[in-house]
Structure 1
Amino acid sequence: MATRIPQEFIDEVTSKTNIVDVVSRYVQLNKKGKNLFGLCPFHEERTPSFSVQENKQIFHCFSCGRGGNVFKFIMEIQDKSFPEAVVEVAQMSNIPVPEQFESAGNQQYQSSDSRVLLQMQADASKLYSHILTKTDGGTVPLKYLSDRNITTNLIDTFDIGYAPNNSNLLLEFFKNKNISEDILRKSGLFAENEDGDLFDRFRDRIMIPIKDENGKIIAFSGRILNKEQGVAKYLNSPETTIFNKGKTLFNLNLAKRGIREQKNVILFEGFMDVMSAYAAGVTNGVASMGTSLTDQQLYVLNRSTNQINVCYDGDDPGVEATYRALTQLNDERFTYGVISIPNKQDPDEFIRSSGADKFKQLTENSVQTPISFILSYFRRRYNLNNEHDQLEFLKQSLQEIVKLKSPVEIDMYVGRVAEELQVSKESINKELDNLRRKNAIEKPANNYKNVQKAKLEEVTAAVPEKFDRIEKSERNLIFWAISFPEIRVRLKGNDFKFVHQSYQKIFNSLISYTEKEGYDDDVNVSDFMNVLDDDCKNVLADVEMMQMPSEYNDDEIQDYISNIQNSDLEFKMTDINRQLKKAAMVGDNKLQLELTQELINVRRLLTSN
């Protein structure tokens, strides 16, 4: 059961928190008019439809419909209860949390398998950490980490631990906690032998927790201490209900702030590189789970930045991996760069040999464009003293240059290729023109996509209005009732009823809330949302995002009320018109006359009300 938190503490957290500061940890927000917009963190989209209204301290997505205050945002994005969200927001805002409330932010994961699995990962991490730092078994791995410049602070920051060469230590640990065998198998922490018996998956490995965006441990990566023939350098947890490789980025939970501040993310090849870079002051680095970036990972990154810099190893395999990454990173939402490590070193080796300051300078001041890296990559592949290789180098280089749009960039890289081949820029430009003409001839083959896009735009343009006249009236009345107490009194005094249940629920809650709190003026929308259910929060956030004047008009208010009170007649008119169309289609003249007379009578009633 969730711990009850007093209203006084909730009010304190609300008053000392700016929703923009909290949301900005997850979404890159840009000012547009009075509001701030960004890509919605709750669903994938190309055009920002997620909005934050700072003066009302609310958010709303015009696409998926989610909305609410800062607590609702944290509840949605971190899957927390209301008390947990209050504690989380307080901690984000550096507000001291009384000890008796802290349990609300640390509830045991008992409501589902996923919560049990999350708790198991956290418990395993604590055990591995204890073995590394508090037992004799951690002596050798601690020395290994020290030799790699992994300090005590870094061990604590990343919760690094050690799994000893004992096949049953973790298994016995969880069996003593009465964890069922079914859950043990689902956790990813264990493997099974030929007889189907479980044993610890990770043994004699440095244990690096893999965390989700919110810092919850969802899996592990185990690194061997010594290279052994046929033994994988890294062993990662298998996918589970809480760990999806395609959605996870190592260190994103710590890197988000650095990504926003630096306005770019650095993609490293290995977890150890990420940690070494972090220790060197480069805090905007992440790593994928051994695969190219997926659409889901790119979407998460795009909420914080539109610049990705690849920083892989400087040796030949690393250069090959960088080239493959650049060919796969073709999402137009991003621009890309390459940070090349000199002397065929990996980032960790460069930091140890040249120092943290040099590495930081490298990441900030030595970012190559993709085309610059690719031309250097082609230069390495081909022997430019050989005519065949010269032509291949030219062919491959032009295939990349032709993709560029900037005339300055084109001229610069054409000049570079001309210098490499010792030929004139004019001859290179002629070859480039020939390639453009060839591509233009082949381009109509792609027209199908353009036709489909045009059709989609036509369909989108033909979408009817979201709200009819009656619901628009309800929304406007709710908006004014929140801002002006006299509207609330007017609606309540006339025994007024809304047509749609959601608006009636909001209005009923509004009356109870204002009477309890003694509001004589406008209502704090963010605070009011705390008493609403999730559906009503979404509806109210949408209403409060409407562009409305600062004052209402009495005649308009009466029109809204009349529209709603006459809704039965409006609906009857719609039904009669529908029946008239059917009667006309079958040629029933008698029914058409009867329906027409009924329609006239209904209209007369409407005009008289």
Structure 2
Amino acid sequence: MAISIPDELVENIRQSVNIVDVVSPYVALKKQGRNLFGRCPWHEERTPSFSVNEEKQIFHCFSCGRGGNAFTFLMEKEELSFPQAVAKVASMTGIELDSTYTVSSDEKRQISQHQRDLLALYDEATKFYHYLLVNAEIGDDALQYLHQRGLDDTTIDAYMLGYAPEGDALYNYFNEKKVDYQLMRESELFIVWDDGTLHDRFVDRILFTIRNREGAPIAFSGRRMSNDTTIAKYMNSPESALFDKSEELFNFDLAKTTIKKSKVVILFEGFMDVIAAFQAGIHNGVASMGTSLTKTQVRRLGQSAEEINIAYDADTAGQAATYRAIDLINKNSSLKIKIINIPDGQDPDEYLRSQGIDALREVLTRNLKDPVEFNLNYLRKDYDLSNQSDIFNYIEQVLPALAQVKEPLVRQTYMQQLATEFNVSSSGLEEQLRNLMMQQQASRQTENTRVKDNYVPILETPNLVEKPVLSQVEQAEQILLTWMLKHQDAWLKVTSRLDFHFVDVVYETLFMLADGYKQKNQIQEIDNWADFMDFVKEPDLVRVLSQLDQIDDAMMQELDQVDEYIGVLLNRAPLEEKIKQKQRELLEAKQVNNEVLATQLSFEVLSLLREKQAAQSNQQ
């Protein structure tokens, strides 16, 4: 029976390798001061921002934020599980692992027996529904519908599409097989009535199988076959022990090899769009669950791709989703963005049926637009550009988008277009843009004054590398948590406060993990960060830890300052969140031209800002 690799052996393997030897095959490293630097292997950059600390045996990219130890590097670069990364390092150092240890490719994630049982249940349900679609008379209408939508039998089989008939076909099938009632109940494949009886969740629907990254079925999305508009057109499985819709991407398991090879991923809105592209020979397409793209999904795509092409629908909802996606991707990855423009306002599936495979392939690979051009066009819909006031408001909205453009020539081209179209001074626009860019640059500069002077100092990074903009509260969280991990006196001072908690869940999670790590190892201070990263394991948390380790020890000298950081988190954070909420409401009121509400909210925002200013004055 396979068992996990013992912690002692993991630590022995980690200490037996130099992280430089692990990283060097992927990154050309050059000594610079105490650390080694190179160009990050996850994104393009002209100035090396990828750092390796040989003394601490950890790495950190000051640009994209990735970081960790030798195991973490291999997990993210090769998409390995933790045991697989340990095994690969062991093979580099000549350490032989017992065959009973769990490291094989089919064990990429450590899962419980209960989860294995659920996965087996979903696999059986997928096969059952697929059989009813392609082999049973009851699925003829659904199969004919898919054929009319342009899907051939090979594609239908590749995606294991299925049909859920009326009645309780799946329940009866599992019941005959004596499947455990509680397992069926927890699977979310069924609806539980008040009397405790189970009934099929999906009825008279074509089913799209949602698989995890290893290709195992974990959920379904069902499209209704009837014309009854009182029933939802699409119905998805609820979240379960197997399925978290914020993490999963439809078709990622089939697309990941092509994505890694081409470094390009196409983001579609619907499952049928992904399948249509697949049938057209485009195998690097994925879709989120609806249009709600998440940070987790963006970061996963950023691990495999360098460019993302967005092919959402041309309707109002699709365009709004594209606008949100551009902002989310820019803030959470270094992915280069392009927008796919499908002619005649059609979605990819419609275009395939109307124009054919070759035409769809041509559009998806060549009909690409710049995201700035998309944003400029998208923002127009909110303004009457025959009105001078709206012209100025529109320009005020688009300038921040232009300020994010790194290429001077591209910026200049769009600025000239604005000046010509609206007959405004190009020099005036350039001055506004220059001021805006200076403000953005200033917000990225290291603040070197104390908390009581309204700012929390943050770490310095290598030359020419921009740091992410952190709120004052998050800066306080970072420094305070680092201080607590490295110095027991700070830990005791903070934990003596019964009312204390971190604002952001990631820092609260690391705080709790650190408490467990310290108790397990019977230590007071964490000085072996590489080992603590092994304990944490979760890549996103390890990435945050690598950022914390870069904080200058000079920021953690005067113990009295701990109270000031605590004050920021307990007093200022709620007030700042209230201000942000009111500012969001004010912006929404302006967008719908509700002048009365906008005036009221303006006074409320002003009052809260004065309250914040007074609180800051009292701390000085």
Give the TM-score normalised by the residue count of structure 2. 0.58
Are 2:307 and 1:307 aligned? yes
What secondary structure, in the 3-state scheme, does the structure 2 residue paired with 1:245 have?
Answer: coil
**Aligned equivalent of 1:369:** 370
**Aligned equivalent of 1:476:** none
Task: Give, in whole Å, the separation in 2 of the partners of 1:220 and 1:381.
Answer: 37
- 8 Å Cα contact 1:36-1:52 kept in structure 2: no
**Aligned positions of 1:119-518 closer than 5 A:** 119-166=120-167, 168-290=168-290, 292-329=292-329, 330-436=331-437, 451-453=457-459
**Aligned equivalent of 1:488:** none
What secondary structure, in the 3-state scheme, does the structure 2 residue paired with 1:281 have?
Answer: coil
Give the Å deviation of 1:274: 0.8
Instruction: Specify the code of the residue in structure 1 equivalent to 2:87.
Output: G
Which piece of structure 1 moves more, 254-263 or 416-425?
Answer: 416-425
Task: Give, in whole Å, the separation in 2 of the partners of 1:305 and 1:436.
Answer: 28
Q: Say if 1:210 and 1:409 are closer, same or farther in 2 by CA, change over 3 A.
A: same
- 8 Å Cα contact 1:128-1:162 kept in structure 2: yes
Give the Å deviation of 1:332: 3.6
Which piece of structure 1 moves more, 289-298 or 44-53?
Answer: 44-53
The superposition leaves residues 54-110 of structure 1 with CA deviations (integer Å, 9 ceiling, x where unpaired) of: 9xxx9999999941149999xxxxxx9879938x69xxxxxxxxxxxxxxx9xxx99
Give the Å deviation of 1:135: 1.1
Instruction: Specify the code of the residue in structure 2 equivalent to 1:261.
Output: K
What secondary structure, in the 3-state scheme, does the structure 2 residue paired with 1:246 have?
Answer: coil
- 8 Å Cα contact 1:37-1:51 kept in structure 2: no
Give the Å deviation of 1:259: 0.9
Are 2:53 and 1:47 aligned? no
Q: Say if 1:36 and 1:142 are closer, same or farther in 2 by CA, change over 3 A.
A: farther
Give the Å deviation of 1:180: 1.9
The superposition leaves residues 316-363 of structure 1 with CA deviations (integer Å, 9 ceiling, x where unpaired) of: 222122112223322143222211222111111112222222222222
Q: Say if 1:48 and 1:373 are closer, same or farther in 2 by CA, change over 3 A.
A: farther
**Aligned positions of 1:520-531 closer than 5 A:** none
Instruction: Specify the code of the residue in structure 2 equivalent to 1:411.
Output: Q
- 8 Å Cα contact 2:342-2:367 kept in structure 1: no
The superposition leaves residues 369-418 of structure 1 with CA deviations (integer Å, 9 ceiling, x where unpaired) of: 22111011123433322222211221111121122232112101111222
- 8 Å Cα contact 1:162-1:205 kept in structure 2: yes
Q: Say if 1:169 and 1:188 are closer, same or farther in 2 by CA, change over 3 A.
A: same
Instruction: Specify the code of the residue in structure 2 equivalent to 1:413.
Output: Y
The superposition leaves residues 190-232 of structure 1 with CA deviations (integer Å, 9 ceiling, x where unpaired) of: 0122333210000101111110111111111111124432322
**Aligned equivalent of 1:477:** none
Give the Å deviation of 1:37: 9.0
Q: For the pair shown, which has the larger CA radius of gyration, 1 or 2?
A: 1
Q: Say if 1:408 and 1:60 are closer, same or farther in 2 by CA, change over 3 A.
A: closer
Task: Give, in whole Å, the separation in 1 of the partners of 2:164 and 2:299.
Answer: 34
Question: What are structure 1's unaligned runs of at least 5 residues?
Answer: 3-26, 74-79, 90-104, 465-534, 539-609
2:86 paired residue among 45, 48, 67: 67
Instruction: Specify the code of the residue in structure 1 equivalent to 2:335.
Output: F
Task: Give, in whole Å, the separation in 2 of the partners of 1:52 and 1:275.
Answer: 33
Task: Give, in whole Å, the separation in 1 of the partners of 2:29 and 2:345.
Answer: 49
- 8 Å Cα contact 1:38-1:48 kept in structure 2: no
Task: Give, in whole Å, the separation in 1 of the partners of 2:233 and 2:319.
Answer: 20
- 8 Å Cα contact 2:447-2:457 kept in structure 1: no
Q: Say if 1:226 and 1:373 are closer, same or farther in 2 by CA, change over 3 A.
A: farther
Instruction: Specify the code of the residue in structure 1 equivalent to 2:67.
Output: T
What secondary structure, in the 3-state scheme, does the structure 1 residue paired with 2:246 have?
Answer: helix
Give the Å deviation of 1:131: 0.7
Task: Give, in whole Å, the separation in 2 of the partners of 1:378 and 1:445.
Answer: 33
- 8 Å Cα contact 2:67-2:73 kept in structure 1: no
Q: Say if 1:52 and 1:442 are closer, same or farther in 2 by CA, change over 3 A.
A: closer
**Aligned equivalent of 1:590:** none
Which piece of structure 1 moves more, 242-251 or 297-306?
Answer: 297-306
What secondary structure, in the 3-state scheme, does the structure 2 residue paired with 1:178 have?
Answer: coil
**Aligned equivalent of 2:593:** none
2:104 paired residue among 80, 85, 106: 85
Task: Give, in whole Å, the separation in 2 of the partners of 1:441 and 1:69.
Answer: 44
Instruction: Specify the code of the residue in structure 2 equivalent to 1:145.
Output: L
Q: Say if 1:407 and 1:202 are closer, same or farther in 2 by CA, change over 3 A.
A: same
Task: Give, in whole Å, the separation in 1 of the partners of 2:381 and 2:190.
Answer: 45
Task: Give, in whole Å, the separation in 2 of the partners of 1:443 and 1:359.
Answer: 43
What secondary structure, in the 3-state scheme, does the structure 2 residue paired with 1:293 have?
Answer: coil
Task: Give, in whole Å, the separation in 2 of the partners of 1:157 and 1:214.
Answer: 15
Instruction: Specify the code of the residue in structure 2 equivalent to 1:402.
Output: A
Q: Say if 1:62 and 1:145 are closer, same or farther in 2 by CA, change over 3 A.
A: closer
Q: Say if 1:37 and 1:325 are closer, same or farther in 2 by CA, change over 3 A.
A: closer
Which piece of structure 1 moves more, 441-450 or 329-338?
Answer: 441-450
Give the Å deviation of 1:283: 1.0
**Aligned equivalent of 1:113:** 114
The superposition leaves residues 127-180 of structure 1 with CA deviations (integer Å, 9 ceiling, x where unpaired) of: 1111111111111001110111111011110001100011x2111111222222
- 8 Å Cα contact 1:339-1:366 kept in structure 2: yes
Among all aligned residue pairs of Structure 1 and Structure 2, give the percentage whose two residues are the same amino acid.
34
- 8 Å Cα contact 2:208-2:222 kept in structure 1: yes
Instruction: Specify the code of the residue in structure 1 equivalent to 2:458.
Output: Q
Give the Å deviation of 1:297: 2.1
Q: Say if 1:310 and 1:218 are closer, same or farther in 2 by CA, change over 3 A.
A: same
Q: Say if 1:158 and 1:82 are closer, same or farther in 2 by CA, change over 3 A.
A: farther
Which piece of structure 1 moves more, 377-386 or 268-277?
Answer: 377-386
- 8 Å Cα contact 1:30-1:37 kept in structure 2: no
Task: Give, in whole Å, the separation in 1 of the partners of 2:348 and 2:456.
Answer: 43
- 8 Å Cα contact 2:446-2:459 kept in structure 1: no
Question: What are structure 2's unaligned runs of at least 5 residues?
Answer: 3-22, 31-37, 43-57, 59-63, 93-98, 461-474, 487-530, 535-620
- 8 Å Cα contact 1:37-1:50 kept in structure 2: no
Instruction: Specify the code of the residue in structure 2 equivalent to 1:268.
Output: F
- 8 Å Cα contact 2:446-2:458 kept in structure 1: no
Task: Give, in whole Å, the separation in 1 of the partners of 2:218 and 2:303.
Answer: 22
Instruction: Specify the code of the residue in structure 1 equivalent to 2:332.
Output: D
Instruction: Specify the code of the residue in structure 1 equivalent to 2:248.
Output: T
Task: Give, in whole Å, the separation in 1 of the partners of 2:80 and 2:345.
Answer: 47
Which piece of structure 1 moves more, 322-331 or 243-252?
Answer: 322-331
Instruction: Specify the code of the residue in structure 1 equivalent to 2:232.
Output: A
What secondary structure, in the 3-state scheme, does the structure 1 residue paired with 2:249 have?
Answer: coil
Instruction: Specify the code of the residue in structure 2 equivalent to 1:196.
Output: G
Task: Give, in whole Å, the separation in 2 of the partners of 1:169 and 1:71.
Answer: 50
Give the Å deviation of 1:446: 7.7
**Aligned equivalent of 1:13:** none
Q: Say if 1:246 and 1:137 are closer, same or farther in 2 by CA, change over 3 A.
A: same
- 8 Å Cα contact 2:260-2:305 kept in structure 1: yes
Instruction: Specify the code of the residue in structure 2 equivalent to 1:387.
Output: Q
Instruction: Specify the code of the residue in structure 2 equivalent to 1:209.
Output: T
Task: Give, in whole Å, the separation in 2 of the partners of 1:440 and 1:53.
Answer: 30
Give the Å deviation of 1:121: 0.5
- 8 Å Cα contact 2:446-2:457 kept in structure 1: no
- 8 Å Cα contact 1:50-1:59 kept in structure 2: no
RMSD between aligned alpha carbons?
Answer: 4.4
